[in-house]
Amino acid sequence: MQMGKIFKMSRQQSNTSEIVNDKDNNTQGWLMLAFVLFIYVLCIYSFYEWGDVLLPRSASEHGVGIDQLWLISMIIIFVVGIITQWLLHYFAFKYRGRQTQKAVFYADNDKLEFIWTIIPVIVLAGLIIYGLFTWTDIMNIDTEDDPLVVELYAYQFDWRARYGGEDNTLGEANVRLIEGVNQLGVDASDPYAQDDVIVNELHLPKGRKVIFKMRSQDVLHSAYMPHFRAQMNCVPGMITQFSFTPTVTTEEMRQAEEMKDKVQKINKIRTENNIALAAAGEEQLEMYEFDYLLLCNKICGNSHYNMQMKIIVEEEEEFNAWMKEQQTLAAVLKQ
Amino acid sequence: MSAHAEAHAVDHHDDHGHHHKETFITKYIFSQDHKMISKQYLITGLFMGIIGIAMSILFRMQLAWPEEPFTIFEVLLGKWAEGGVMDPSVYLALVTIHGTIMVFFVLTAGLSGTFSNLLIPLQIGARDMASGFLNMISYWLFFLSSIIMVFSLFVEAGPASAGWTVYPPLSALPQAIPGSGTGMTLWLVSMAIFIASSLLGSLNYIVTVLNLRTKGMSMTRLPLTIWAFFVTAIIGVVSFPVLLSAALMLIMDRSFGTSFFLSDIYIAGEVLHNQGGSPVLFEHLFWFLGHPEVYIVILPAMGLVSEIMATNSRKPIFGYRAMVASILAIAFLSTIVWGHHMFISGMNPFLGSVFTFTTLLIAIPSAVKAFNWITTLWKGNLQLNPAMLFSIGFVSTFITGGLTGIILGDSALDINVHDTYFVVAHFHLVMGISALYGLFAGVYHWFPKMFQSRMMNKNLGFVHFWVTAVGAYGVFYPMHFIGMAGLPRRYYNNTNFPYFDDLADVNVVITIFAIITAAAQLVFLYNFIHSMFYGKKGPQNPWKSNTLEWTAPIKHIHGNWDGPIPHVYRWSYDYSKLNKDESDYVIPGQDYVPQHIPLQENEEELNH
């Protein structure tokens, strides 16, 4: 019985039922057309539904340049994407197989190849040059016009900020000097270190350039300040740096229309969640108020997801007043 | 060259008659036959793929419904999900092993290993790989490394969890994260063995392609699949040893007190003695492999797609020479762009400029390839078989994912989206999903070659493709938005940032699409396993393809061809070629001319 079956199967050599026929080609071709429309709809829907989750306007000077370059790049890739996806899927639809149809033997065309090599070359050359100018502007950190020097100190799983104090110069530091309250290992004998100020909330004056010197105590971390379009890794054993000029105070950002809408939306979500939490007899969520954030953006251990520090941008006078209230390192170590 | 190949062919022809007695062990386990080894690679790769994809579903569930208890967490994760709530440490372990498995075990070994093994000898007209023995060793080393990687999931402190890039010091110090204990040691051992396997395989592929081509098979007549595998193997040989050196140094830092990557560290209440090393050095070494690696993953997929697309369009691939040139250009550039992973690592900003330049250059050959694929479809007679659907899907996701690469490759723009979900969306589309599509396309297309003419069910194939295609975009398109909102990757949850509360529903959408997409892969698995035993037997050359593998007998024999090896008289893309007076195809009534058919009288000779 089994043998007979095998014999029969080996005899029907050419079963072509798993190869597409015209009917399949027709269905699949139409689906291809539907698919490109799906991609477009998904794209439009995403912008409609989630367009408001994107970061607000840049709160730093150089960030405006990044956003501009971002916009231009986005326009280019959307134009290219929309056209090429259309051609790809439309051809798949239009030339879907039919018994009566003949394919055209079309093996190459130097002119076409040249055109679509040279167009990307030109467009990319533009983008590269624009990008490199933007990059060099951001990364060439000069110390003219008296920038504020701030150390960002990362450790599992928190941040500290150290200001240069009166002399705006950071004292030397090394992890080998960590002891007791001297958590950052600052060299207590360094005269520059005496007036250093260490805090766990980053205050920045609006309109003044800040140079960040990043250090890490243990593993790689990354100081990510999305609203300022700023990020730099903190690497144990070396000091990395990044610089920007904040241009929008926390208060101004809170008053911006787009931020008000966003905060309102977030608080609506939180209110809804609170109803569920209340029903379960659990603790209520606080209502949210916008603040700039410094996040860790390099995997650094189990609590990586909650390694953050608040950033407050304020007017120069407010900043100076706040700074006056802080204890200097010398005072802290004396206690 | 060709004389040599012929001598070889004759030589083999003489002795192929006597068949060795094959036992179950020599046929299925310690096989030296490239066809069996390719199946071993495929099945091991698919098995690892099941683990990798299942892990992604677990951590996607955690991201969508943070700290929600799920029974399945407790069942699968045990002590790391007491009461069904996932622990942060296991979340990191899951993303780490997901990345490692998908990149290396599924897309490197499962894709390149399977199809290089299956197709290189069959498409160039060779009886087997240059060294069947090394080929066997290569597979068994891969198998061993897979076993060790899976085994590492069960050690007490958990598997490696410093991310698939295993940057030290996190990966070097068990004090920093529990997974950097035994789990990390096993990860390194497994990867070291994997690299050995990959090197043995690659050397074999290179030698085979260079030396064992049949008579008439010049380099410019090679199918693009072979070009892709050949160049992939070269990239592998150039870059994998560098990863091995990085792994060795990391092993020494971990176990023998050296300081290659460690300096000035204060952890768990004490200062470590290490001084003078730099984690940035590790990043350089890692990405010197890590970036070519994504091309090691994508080039074979490109080769498979080119071949499948030409066959099913019934047209030659458009711009064969440009396609080869762009493979070579991509391969060359791929080795000098690694620094774009490190723009904000603290390396000199000038280097950032250089790497931006080289990185954006890679868009040019990639664009040429995409345009050529689209033109291949133009005025074709498209046979929309499942393999063809996946090939078209490949081009679609490659374009979408590739375009965002223009943003990420630009150092100035990378600053603000580095390590956010924007990156995750980008590379999953351009190398993850695209390469998987290439793998699926290859499996549907060459399944009959692997399993004695049995064919996979086309309707299940259609379902598989469409659900996957919609699902993949559903997962990764919205993911760009949460990245642009500034959400970092590798966060166990986002609830500590009220600022990200409005991203919660996007994460739910992504997870639902991910679950649907993963479920569609079960359709594939069923189709694969069922067709292996009960698939309908199709014709010897089901897709009416020109390449040599379809001239080999259906029944697998060691040595591939029953009689002499066929000689080759043309390139592999003579689809729908007309005769001189354009009255009919070259072979009347047949729209393809296989490579072993000599030039016909009424046929115009072209460049190939």
Does residue B277 fall inside a structural domain?
no
Instruction: Answer whether B502's CB lies under 8 Å from A54's CB.
Output: no
Is residue B8 predicted with pLDDT exceeding 90?
A: no
Neighbours of B96 (CB within 10 A): 28
B50 and B98 part of one domain = yes
Does residue B20 fall inside a structural domain?
no
A227 touches chain B (CB under 8 A): yes
| Helix (H), strand (E) at residue A61 | helix A61-94
Does residue B54 fall inside a structural domain?
yes
Neighbours of B255 (CB within 10 A): 11
Instruction: Answer whether A160's CB lies under 8 Å from A200's CB.
Output: yes
Write down the pTM of the prediction: 0.94
C-beta atoms of A77 and B462 within 8 A: no
What burial letters (b/e) apply to B181-208, b meaning 16+ CB within 10 Å?
A: bbbbbbbbbbbbbbbbbbbbbbbbbbeb
d(CA B608, CA B606): 6
> DSSP string spanning B431-443?
IIIHHHHHHHHHH
Average pLDDT of chain B to the nearest whole number:
93
Identify the CA nearest to A84 among candidates B368, B3, B487: B368
Of A84, A155, A296, the CB nearest to B374: A84
CA distance B169 to chain A (A): 5
Of A46, A231, A301, the CB nearest to B478: A46
pLDDT at B558: 85
pLDDT at A334: 86
Of A9, A70, A302, the CB nearest to B537: A9
Does residue B596 fall inside a structural domain?
no
Q: Write the pLDDT tens digit of every residue in B325-357.
A: 999 999 999 999 999 999 999 999 999 999 999
Instruction: Answer whether B12's CB lies under 8 Å from B212's CB.
Output: no
Does residue B389 fall inside a structural domain?
yes
pLDDT at B426: 97
B 37-66 → A contacts, CB under 8 A: none
A 38-67 → B contacts, CB under 8 A: 38-39, 42-43, 46, 50, 52-55, 63, 65-66
Domain that holds residue B405: 290-541
pLDDT at B274: 93
Query: Cβ contacts (< 8 Å) between A233 and chain B: which residues?
Result: 344-346
Query: Cβ contacts (< 8 Å) between B98 and chain A: which residues?
Result: none
pLDDT at B30: 86
pLDDT at B6: 42
B60 and B163 part of one domain = yes
Among chain B residues, the shortest Cα distance to A47 is held by: B481
The DSSP output letter for B214 is: P
Provide mean pLDDT across the span B77-97.
Answer: 93
B375 touches chain A (CB under 8 A): yes
Maximum separation of any 2 CA atoms in chain B, in Å:
86
- The domain that holds B221 is classified in CATH as 1.20.210.10
Walking along chain A (335 residues) 10 residues at a time, the average pLDDT comes out as 50 77 96 97 95 94 96 96 97 95 91 92 94 93 90 96 94 93 93 95 96 96 97 96 96 95 95 92 92 96 96 96 94 87
C-beta atoms of A116 and B88 within 8 A: no
> How is residue B156 written in tokens?
């007490």
Among chain B residues, the shortest Cα distance to A10 is held by: B537
pLDDT at B208: 96
B421 and B342 part of one domain = yes
Query: Terminal CA-to-CA distance of chain B, rounded, Å?
Result: 17
B157, with CB counted inside 10 A (0-12, 13-18, 19+), is: middle
Query: Cβ contacts (< 8 Å) between A132 and chain B: which residues?
Result: 353, 356-357, 411-412
Q: What share of chain A is helix, strand, coil (3-state, %, to 5)?
A: 50, 20, 30
Provide mean pLDDT across the span B512-524.
Answer: 97
Is residue B120 predicted with pLDDT exceeding 90?
A: yes
Identify the CA nearest to B57 among candidates B80, B77, B41: B77
Mode of pairing for the β-strands spanning A158-163 and A197-199: antiparallel
Cα B384 to chain centroid distance, Å, stands at 23
C-beta atoms of B364 and A117 within 8 A: yes
pLDDT at A13: 56
Count of the separate structural domains present in chain B: 2
Q: Which of B497, B518, B541 is the last residue of a domain?
A: B541
- Choose from A24, A31, A33, A53 for mutation: most chain B CBs within 10 A: A53
Is residue B306 predicted with pLDDT exceeding 70?
A: yes
Query: Cβ contacts (< 8 Å) between A24 and chain B: which residues?
Result: 384, 458, 462
d(CA B465, CA B115): 20
Q: In order of start, what are the domains of chain A with their CATH numbers?
A: 21-139 (no CATH), 148-253+286-334 (2.60.40.420)
A81 touches chain B (CB under 8 A): yes
B302 and B339 part of one domain = yes
Q: Which of B263, B279, B305 is the last residue of a domain?
A: B263
B174 touches chain A (CB under 8 A): no
Identify the CA nearest to A290 among candidates A257, A239, A253, A248: A253
Among chain B residues, the shortest Cα distance to A119 is held by: B364
- Helix and strand element counts for chain B (H, E): 19, 2
B 259-298 → A contacts, CB under 8 A: 262-267, 271, 275-280
Is residue B13 predicted with pLDDT exceeding 70?
A: no
pLDDT at B2: 41
pLDDT at B19: 54
Residue A224 backbone class (left: φ over 0; alpha: ψ -120 to 50; beta: rest): beta
Provide mean pLDDT across the span B23-48.
Answer: 90
Q: Write the pLDDT tens digit of every residue in B188-198.
A: 999 999 999 99
Please say whether the dihedral angle defined by the alpha carbons of residues A324, A330, A333 and A335, taken in this order, is positive or negative: negative
Backbone angles phi, psi at B275, to 5 degrees: -150, 135
Instruction: Answer whether A319's CB lies under 8 Å from A168's CB.
Output: no
Does residue B607 fall inside a structural domain?
no
Instruction: Answer whether B267's CB lies under 8 Å from A156's CB.
Output: yes
Q: Tell which wins on pLDDT, B21 or A65.
A: A65
ipTM entry? 0.94
Is residue B7 predicted with pLDDT exceeding 60?
A: no
> How is residue B155 written in tokens?
């050690």
B319 and B218 part of one domain = no
> Tokens 């965002």 sit at which residue?
B404
Query: Cβ contacts (< 8 Å) between A32 and chain B: which residues?
Result: 384, 392
> Which residues, in sequence order, are CB contacts of A107 under 8 Å at separation 6+?
B316, B318, B319, B320, B573, B606
